[in-house]
Structure 1
Amino acid sequence: MTLLAVGINYNTAPVSIRERLAYPAEILDSSLKDLWHLKDISEAAILSTCNRTEFYCESSNENKHILIEHMLIDWITQTRNIKPNDLTPYLYTYNDNQLIRHMFRVACGLDSMVLGEPQILGQMKAAYQAANEAGTLGKYLGKLFQHTFAAAKKVRTDTAIGSSPVSVAFAAVQLAQQIFDKLSEQTAILIGAGETIELTARHLVQHGIGRIIIANRTYDKAHALATRFNGYAIALSELPMHLAEADIVVSSTASSLPILGKGRVESAIKKRKHKPMFMVDLAVPRDIESEVEQLNDVYLYTVDDLKNTIDQNMDNRRKAAEQAEEIIDTQVEHFLSWLRSQGALTTIKDYRIQAEQIRDDALRKTLNQLQSGISAEEALQRLAHTLTNKLIHTPSAQIREAGANERHDLIAAAREIFKLNNTQ
């Protein structure tokens, strides 16, 4: 049995290459089945994200390791219409023990662009589900995925790898949670429609925000983003009419001038009857005038304020990552122990089949003897004698040959397997 992975990621390949190896949902099922039908590949799965694409395979043929790797690379280049020379410089491969450790590290976020990020575990689970539904998983790769998820869960439970925010959007939402007891009772106004605002909206929704309003200079962009998060869109010109509704304000635009001044925020606070307002300015240059911080009942944070938190949290994640590596060492050994046990199970199964065949033959012979008229006592004695001779014949012959060839290791193993006591 051989485990093999071929892949690219954000470290090894530029986005121009990564996008050519993307596997959207509409082609994933057929691609999995196509890969699975390749000669010598018994199991297959594909992990495809914006930062990595990896092909996991299992083969029952242990002697064609390099050939299978080349065959897999040929399949990738042909099916994705990429010249081999354009792809191979960016590829990496993992085999057996290396692959096991790699999958564990990926699932734990230790191989991610953002150390410890949790999204990759969900993406790996989606890859497992897709392969499972396509029927391309089996005993070994399926078990490896399950053990990967268990290892990631243990790392998340036993370390602080994912507990500290390391993106400004996530840090902003975490800070909001500290200020408000229940986000479900709060309204958030997000100013802008770029990637940072989109990520902030996603985190707010995941943490149960009550209501989201998206404000942007271009209404259509605000509407498109608000629709994705069940929010309400307004044009930037409408912001003064809605600002008093906001418990949380997060702004990230490309404006060269401030969007919110002290006077406008002060008016909103009065309308709110001085109910606290949490504001985060993620823009550079700033969207919110610094004088706003002077207002009572306003908690204003800038990107620099969050950066200090992020830097400290990144240090915490690095320390947690060291603990995670130790956990992964143990989990890898657990999976390797399971793999080693599979060879023993095959031997046990074969030995049992052989013994049952001997039993059935002996029983059939004894039943014929009973029908021919011999006594039950004599038939049982013959059965016991036949079974004993048949069961010990082959082991005895093998041990005798081991003695003749001075294979003392086999003799010692036989004594241990059969738990033989010294008779002398």
Structure 2
Amino acid sequence: MPLIALGLNHLTAPVSLREQVAFDEDAAGAALRELAREPGIEEAMILSTCNRTELYVGVAEGAQDIPQAWLNRHHHLTPGKLDEFLYRHEERDAVRHVFRVATGLDSMVLGEPQILGQVKDAYQQARLAHALKAPMDRLLQHTFAVAKRVRTDTRIGAHTVSVAFTAVRLAEQVFTDLKQACVLLIGAGDTIELAARHLAEHRARRLIVANRTLETAQDLAGRYGGYAVALADLPQHLAEADIVISSTAARQPVVTRAMVEQAMASRRRKPMFMVDIAVPRDIEESVAELPDVYLYGIDDLRQVIDDNRRSRETAAREADAIIDLQVDRYMAWRRALTTKNPALDMRQHAETYRDEVLGKARAMLAHGKPPEEALAFLANTLTNKLLHHPSARLREAALSGDLDLLHAAGRLYGLDEQDGDL
């Protein structure tokens, strides 16, 4: 059952295409079940974030093209539209890819920790959908262990710069003193919470949190000294904002050009800085055309992020070395699934002999034989049964001069670790 990782990310595709193939949280479960029902798909997981959409699938022989065909069909894309933007990894390369993704080595922000939580969420969703079997379940468990090891043994997580922090840093460059700025945060997920934390540390003058669920916005705003508004009331508050940072899971823009035009008229040409870090985008693209509005998207943050990347590149090389070793270990386990293991047969034979001889020893006791006699019978008979076939083969090997078998037996039974030769 070949393992395939198929997807696109911030390095291979623009945000305009990434948003077309993104799976929102509410629809991802149904999409996963749909994918798992495709002929030839043995197991599956979907990972969809603002920077990537990836399918991890185990397929039957001859079904390697099914995942890409399904992705096009599910998103109503014309065949071939994604071809130049997709990457595809199989078997060992797919294992290495998921390890690198989960450790943040494939992220826009090198070493960022949020992606591991997103991989874990995708794994839980696949488990709930009963879309996993032993190979991929074991792969994901191994992935989480590798990510923990990399963060423990390297400095890949030292001074990491999240997308949220980068947005705040960019805002700080535009507004030299954030203490004079009113900041509007749209959304209430992890990215917005990180932004709120950074803004609180920089003592932004005013913080507004807008969210579809007002209670969630109130909870987040309360923790960072801001106040909350419902998303439906956003047009009435947009003019207050010097800085807008938006990251929701909405499928359509939540900030329209008309809303911003109205807000800018109220602000009397006072500039507004906007950062849209959602995929699909939260702010209509044409907003960037408005005077005195400075709109940055997720891809625009890359240069700022790259400036902070170099300090972690040495740690990234160390992490890659750990990953290569762990890929070998997982692939060895995977090969063992398809290889007949004589140890299992040997244990089964031994347990059969044990049960047979133990039954006879119990019968002896039941018929009044002394316990010492029953124990001696048990020990001698079991030893003879277990060693009969190996002893016969070793005698034949000694007579024929089969040194390879003799040395292998010594290693198998640990005799080569004792004094003397076999």
Normalized against structure 2, the TM-score is what? 0.63
Find the counterpart in structure 2 of residue 265 from structure 1: none
Choose from 100, 104, 109 the match for 2:95.
100
Structure 1 CA distance for aligned equivalents of residues 23 and 73 of structure 2 = 14
Alpha-carbon contact 2:126-2:132 (below 8 Å) kept: yes
Relative distance call for 1:97 and 1:402 in structure 2 (3 A) is farther
Distance, in Å, in 1 between the alignment partners of 2:393 and 2:172 is: 69
* Alignment match, 1:333: 325
1:205 aligns with 2:196: yes
Choose which of 169, 172, 181 in structure 2 pairs with 1:171. 169
- Identity of paired residues, percent? 34
Helix, strand or coil: the match of 2:44? strand
The 1-side partners of 2:41 and 2:353 are apart by 36
The 3 A distance-change label for structure 1 pair 36 and 350 is farther
State how far apart, in whole Å, the 1-side matches of 2:341 and 2:367 are. 39
Secondary structure, counterpart of 2:104 in structure 1:
coil
Note if contact 2:211-2:217 (Cα within 8 Å) is conserved in structure 1. Answer: no
2:281 aligns with none
Deviation at 1:56, TM superposition (A): 1.5
How far apart are the structure 2 equivalents of 1:332 and 1:148? Answer: 12
Match of 2:313 among 302, 306, 321: 321
Contact 1:173-1:200 within 8 A present in 2 as well: no
2:388 corresponds to which residue?
Answer: 393
Taking the TM superposition and a 5 Å limit, the aligned residue runs for 1:199-278 are 203-207=194-198, 209=200, 212-213=206-207, 229-230=217-218, 231=228, 250=243, 259=270
| CA-CA distance at 1:170 after TM superposition | 2.6
Q: Which residue of 2 aligns with 1:141?
A: 136
What do the CA deviations read for 1:347-369 (whole angstroms, capped 9, x no partner)?
65553333111100112233344
User: Offset at 1:15?
Assistant: 5.1
Contact 2:397-2:406 at 8 Å conserved across structures: yes
Give the partner amino acid of 1:163: T
The 1-side partners of 2:197 and 2:318 are apart by 31
2:86 matched residue in structure 1: 91
- Equivalent residue letter for 1:47: L
**Cα 1:383–1:226, aligned 2, differ >3 Å: closer, same or farther?**
closer
| Contact residue 48 and residue 54 of structure 2 kept, 8 A | yes
Contact kept in structure 2, 1:10 and 1:113, CA below 8 Å: yes
Report SS of the residue matched to 1:69.
Answer: coil
1:208-242 Cα offsets, whole Å, 9 max, x none, are 7498456xxxxxxx977996844356868986xxx
Within the candidate set 360, 363, 367, 2:362 is matched to 367
Kept after mapping to 1: 8 A contact 2:112/2:161: no
**Superposed displacement of residue 312, structure 1:** 8.0
Change (3 A) 1:8 1:393: farther
- Give 2:92's aligned amino acid: N
- Give the Å deviation of 1:259: 1.5
Choose the corresponding residue for 1:159, options 156, 159, 165.
Answer: 156
Distance 2:10 2:76 in 1: 21
Letter in 1 for 2:412: I
Cα deviation 1:37-77 (Å, max 9, x = unaligned): 55665542111234322121347x7xx3xx24234444444
Assess if the C-alpha contact under 8 Å between 2:112 and 2:162 holds in 1. no
CA distance 1:4–1:323, shift in 2 (3 Å): same
Q: Cα offset for 1:330?
A: 1.1
The one-letter amino acid paired with 2:325 is: E
Moved more, 97-106 or 71-80: 71-80
Pairing 1:56–2:39 present: no
Give TM-score scaled by structure 1 length.
Answer: 0.63
1:124 is matched with which residue: 119, 126, 143? 119
Separation in 2, partners of 1:50, 1:324: 22
> Are residues 1:411 and 2:411 paired?
no
Q: Deviations over 1:288-334 (max 9, x none)?
A: 9xxxxxxxxxxxxx99xxxxx99687344223033123223214413
SS in 1 for 2:89: strand
SS in 1 for 2:5: strand
Give unmatched runs, 5+ long, in structure 2: 219-227, 246-259, 272-287, 296-300
Distance 1:169 1:26 in 2: 26
- CA distance 1:418–1:49, change in 2 (3 Å): same
- Tell me the number of residue pairs that the alignment of Structure 1 and Structure 2 aligns: 355
How do 1:272-291 and structure 2 match up within 5 A? Answer: none
1:145 is matched by which residue type in structure 2? L
- For 1:124, the aligned partner's letter is V
Distance 1:20 1:367, change over 3 A: same
Does structure 2 retain, via aligned residues, the 8 Å contact 1:46–1:53?
yes
Structure 2 residue 58 is matched with structure 1 residue 47: no
Distance 1:138 1:250, change over 3 A: same
* Residue 378 of structure 2, aligned match among 378, 383, 386: 383
Residue pair 1:190, 1:251 contacting (<8 A) in 2 also? yes
SS at match of 2:46: strand
AA of the residue aligned to 2:54 = E
Segments of 5+ residues of structure 1 without an aligned counterpart are 181-185, 215-221, 244-248, 261-282, 289-301, 304-308
> Does the CA contact (< 8 Å) of 1:170 and 1:200 recur in 2?
no
Partner SS state of residue 11, structure 1: coil
SS in 2 for 1:163: coil
**Structure index of larger Rg:** 1
What amino acid maps onto 2:389 in structure 1? T
